[in-house]
């Protein structure tokens, strides 16, 4: 993967995450969740069977920062193909679909690993879809 492709991938996900957080903040019922969600996680985007492009997300007190690379101290590792992640973020794929169906490399579409402290941090994992997945839009009559 060329450096320009890596930069495009990084900018795509940085923009997507920022856009989702801004959209969530427009709904008053999400403000508390967004502001109280504190987590540090590594996001491995599976580009090839044996190559992951690493990003990290730090959420602290309502501030979200997405950077390239891996964190040394983290709460969770998420492994996913970029296209599957985009489909999950925009609600085309449900969380159940992501954890039960396999991707083109033969792995589950959404996988996670323990944090650097050896804990599974299931609370963070369960809140992740509430924070990062777009809300359903109610159809107007």
* Residue pLDDT, tens place only, 22-51: 999 999 999 999 999 999 999 999 999 999
Instruction: Return d(Cα 35, Cα 120) in angstroms, integer.
Output: 22
Looking at residue 81, the DSSP 8-state letter turns out to be -
- The count of other CB atoms within 10 Å of the CB of residue 50 is 7
Domains of the chain are 3-132 (3.30.1050.10)
Q: Sheet with 110-113: list strands edge to edge.
A: 63-68, 51-60, 39-48, 76-80, 110-113
Q: What pLDDT is stored for residue 140 in this prediction? A: 63
Q: Name the nearest CA neighbour of 46 among 77, 74, 75.
A: 77
Distance (Å, rounded) from C-alpha 1 to C-alpha 51? 10
pLDDT tens string 52-110: 999 999 999 999 999 999 999 999 999 999 999 999 999 999 999 999 999 999 999 99
pLDDT in tens, 121-138: 999 999 999 999 998 877
Q: Measuring CA to CA, which residue among 71, 83, 66, 72 is closest to residue 131?
A: 66
């Amino acid at each position: 993967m060329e450096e320009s492709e890596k930069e495009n991938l990084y900018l795509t996900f940085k923009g997507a995450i920022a856009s989702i957080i801004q959209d969530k903040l427009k709904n008053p019922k999400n403000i508390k969740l967004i502001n109280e969600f504190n987590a540090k996680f590594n996001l491995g985007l599976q580009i090839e069977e044996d190559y992951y492009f690493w990003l990290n997300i730090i959420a602290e007190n309502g501030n979200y920062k997405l950077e390239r690379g891996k964190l040394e101290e983290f709460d969770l590792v998420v492994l996913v193909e970029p296209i599957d992640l985009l489909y999950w973020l925009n609600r085309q794929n449900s969380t159940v679909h992501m954890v039960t169906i396999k991707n083109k490399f033969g792995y589950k579409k959404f996988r996670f690993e323990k944090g650097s402290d050896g804990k599974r941090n299931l609370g963070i994992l369960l809140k992740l879809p509430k924070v990062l997945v777009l809300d359903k839009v109610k159809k107007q009559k």
